[in-house]
Amino acid sequence: MSYSLSTGGTSGIARFVPVTHREWDVFSEVQANALKNLGVNKKDIVANLFVAGYFWPSFLGGHEIIKKIGAVHLPVSAITDIEKLIYFFDLFKPTVILSVPSLLIYFADELLKKGKKYPEVRLIQFAGEHLSENASKVVKKAFPDAEIKAAGYTSADCGLMGYQCNHCGPIEYHVPTDFQFIEIYNFDENRPCKEGELGEIVVTNLKRTSIPIIRYRLGDLGYYKKKKCRCGDKNPVLVLKGRSGEDFKFGGSYVGMNQIEKCFSDFVSKDGISANYQVEIDNLENGKTSFILRIESSNIEASKKYKNEIKENLFKEIPLFKEGVDIDFIEVFKVEFIKLGELPRNPVTGKIKRLIDKRVGN
Ligand SMILES: [Zn+2]
């Protein structure tokens, strides 16, 4: 008997991955240990806000992990509407939240709009996407006493590849070496990287036997830290350096989504401005380009006064944008605000696609 779990991946094509019950148990055990490591114990009340259904493993995984820890499980899931979510939080007062960042940000924005806070939440674990500094700030406002940690570096095929201790920075993960063998490889020169040298992450799972995972390429970049971690854990620390698909090409150079975020970070949670956003780039029929930055807001009218400043910041941060507008290569260059929760979410993962690049040949 086996579970079938799908992975969307950057290709967008769903695949089904068989996992035996035994393998699933090992996966959950490793994940539960990672959460225990951060101090979660049986006294905790854990709100599981992961996405359920669609063969997606995260909600089921949450259930298994919480069960293994012996904590109280609140199986809320990501499909619960916001009013009910607040009702459940008022009633059960969770101390730990498991969620994807897109939902966390939306939840925090709605709470701030209502002037509500949940100081009893002491730990928030997120998974599935990156939580930017902007987003972190907003979440911190609604959950002022919560420590915010990545649930781990995981994939449905490989299971947990990294967990965080209390000394790990936002992109640092201990590798569970009795579960995974992770190499950093330089494919241009066809050689393994040295310690501290950036390269592509290549994973071999040591427990998976139904479909062995051997030297699996996830398209992620990273390097091993030279120094041992101060927490005393002997497992080495992997520093993740972003995923493919997070940057776009513009005028021959690369623009990082972190550069876009930086341009409105000062305004996040002012006058309703959210950290949830989306960039859409397209080719117009006349061959020119359009660039639209859409940001969610709980107060669209009030947010509008920052439009020009955000545009100016974009021009300063990415001078090619300014040039493009000046020479009329970029015909449409807009910053727009839309209602909270209105950016399209992927129904399977609950994530907002930060970048929609419709240009041909990109
Ligand atoms: Zn550590």
What are the structure tokens assigned to 124, written together?
Answer: 């928030």
Phi, psi of 83 (to 5 degrees): -65, -40
What is the average pLDDT across 127-150? 87
CATH number given to 2-173+223-243: 3.40.50.12780
Distance 125 CA to ligand 1 centre (A): 17
Distance 151 CA to ligand 1 centre (A): 14
How confident is the model over 73-87, as pLDDT tens digits? 999 998 889 999 999
State pLDDT tens for residues 289-316.
899 999 999 999 999 999 999 999 999 9
- Ligand 1 mean position to 73 CA, how many Å? 27
CA 207 to ligand 1 centroid distance, Å: 23
Distance 150 CA to ligand 1 centre (A): 14
Distance 321 CA to ligand 1 centre (A): 41
Residue 256 bridge partners (DSSP): 247
Ligand 1: distance of its center to the CA of 330 in Å?
Answer: 47
Distance 175 CA to ligand 1 centre (A): 10
Q: How confident is the model at residue 348 (pLDDT cuts 50, 70, 90)?
A: low
- At 352 the pLDDT is 85
Computed over every residue of the chain, the mean pLDDT equals 88
- Percent of the chain at pLDDT > 90 equals 53
CA of 149 to the centre of ligand 1 (A): 13
- Separation of 172 CA from ligand 1 center, angstroms? 9
Sequence spans of domains, the chain = 2-173+223-243, 247-357
Q: How remote is the CA of residue 233 from the centroid of ligand 1, in Å? A: 5
How far does residue 232's CA lie from ligand 1's centre (Å)?
6
pLDDT at 117 over 80: yes
User: From the CA of 210, how far away is ligand 1's center (Å)?
Assistant: 31
Mean pLDDT of 9-17: 59
Which one is the CATH code of 247-357: 3.20.20.10, 2.60.40.650, 1.20.1090.10, 3.30.300.30?
3.30.300.30
Taking the centre of ligand 1 as the mean of its atom positions, its distance from the CA of residue 106, in whole angstroms, is: 31
Q: Kindly give the distance from the C-alpha atom of residue 228 to the centroid of ligand 1, in angstroms, as a whole number.
A: 8
Residues 6 or more apart whose Cβ sits within 8 Å of residue 194: none
CA 229–ligand 1 middle distance (angstroms): 5
Average of pLDDT values for 232-254? 78
Residue 166 CA, ligand 1 centroid: distance in Å: 7
Distance 197 CA to ligand 1 centre (A): 20
Ligand 1 centroid to residue 220 C-alpha, Å: 21
